[in-house]
Amino acid sequence: MQNSDITYSVNEKVTAEAVATVYKKAGLRRPVDDLDRIGRMLDHADIVITAWSGDQLVGVARAITDYSYCCYLSDLAVDPDFQQQGIGKNLIQQLQQQIGEEVSLILLASAVAMDYYPHIGFEKLNNSYAIGRKR
């Protein structure tokens, strides 16, 4: 669905249900059936940028940052009906405006998004490590 009337909000209150719906549609592997946990993820994020088509949530970027050195982009999701319109790129640009030029933006990409991030300016790195969650 092409829609040029997308608006963006910074840290606007959004429901866990609305975010879980976008995650499901976009295919993000998140605990979408545990709305309490999604709510905690939103509540404890430092920055949540949302994209709206009218009153419908169509995209979300959720990040954790110190506002001084680094910012971890935890989630970037766009409803498939609204992809290919630059919404993901705009969400990231909005995030970069919030964190400023001193801060590196870091993410762990899902396997299906590996080709997307270099396309919008991210550099692929081979020096990351993780200790996975138990659930």
Calculate the CA dihedral of residues 121, 127, 131, 133 and round it to 10 degrees: 20
Does the annotation count 23 as an active-site position?
A: no
The 10 Å Cβ neighbour count of residue 1 is 10
CATH code for residues 6-119: 3.40.630.30
C-alpha separations of 103 from 46, 53, 130 in Å: 14, 29, 21
pLDDT value at residue 1? 52
Residue with tokens 């762990």: 108
What would the two tokens of residue 43 be? Answer: 């509540």
pLDDT for 70: 95
Pairing of strands 104-106, 70-78: parallel
Please check whether residue 75 is in contact with residue 30, taking contact to mean a CB–CB distance below 8 angstroms.
Answer: yes
Q: Where are the domains of the chain?
A: 6-119
- Given 69, 72, 117, 129, which residue is catalytic? 117
Indicate whether 127 pLDDT > 60.
Answer: yes
125 pLDDT tier (thresholds 50, 70, 90): confident
Mean pLDDT value across residues 65-79: 95
Of the candidates 82, 107, 79, the one whose C-alpha atom is nearest the C-alpha of residue 23 is 79
